Amino acid sequence: MAEQPVEPAPVATPSALEHVRRTPMAPFTAALAVGILLGLLLSFLVPDDPGALALVVLGAAVAAAVGYTARLLSSDASWWTLGAAGIAAAVGVHLMAVTGTVGGGNAVLEMLGGEAPGFNDALLTALATPPLSAGTLLAGVVAAIIAGWGRQRA
């Protein structure tokens, strides 16, 4: 009897999400991109006279989006994933708060006949100042909690 050729078992190609999960820096890159883009978009919603409630609500939105992104794109809750989510959220909230607070109208400057810096100058100010404040660190911790909640650490 002649031997029958053995067909190889079909190999399932991994999805795009699996490719991202297998790349070590991809979850951090995606979380940082979400933090920066959402932070800059939400900076337009910061009122001219920013109150604590507005900054807390907008900062929580950035932290939640970054934490969920890191959770979705990482395969485990390693210290690297938690740190990446924390750093990305801190950067996004810092950009949102500083750009939204510095840019836009300022009543005191308008009374004196001056005008507040525009978006470009406000963004440069945000990039030139360190993102270390209680609010940004709290947003980073919230994002890290969201990224690692109920998951096994590697």
Residue at 19 is within a domain: no
Q: What is the pLDDT of residue 6?
A: 76
Q: What is the DSSP string of the chain?
A: -PPPPPPPPP-PPPPHHHHHHHSTTHHHHHHHHHHHHHHHHHGGGS-SS--HHHHHHHHHHHHHHHHHHHHHH-SS--HHHHHHHHHHHHHHHHHHHHHHHHSS--HHHHHTT-----HHHHHHHHHHS---SHHHHHHHHHHHHHHHTT----
Residue at 6 is within a domain: no
pTM for the whole thing? Answer: 0.78
Number of domains comprising the chain: 1
Residue at 4 is within a domain: no
Q: What is the pLDDT of residue 114?
A: 67
Parent domain of 118: 24-148
Q: What is the pLDDT of residue 110?
A: 67
Residue at 9 is within a domain: no
Name the stretches of the chain with pLDDT < 70.
1-2, 104-111, 114, 116, 152-154
Dump pLDDT digits (tens) for 55-84: 889 999 999 999 999 988 887 778 888 899
Residue at 11 is within a domain: no
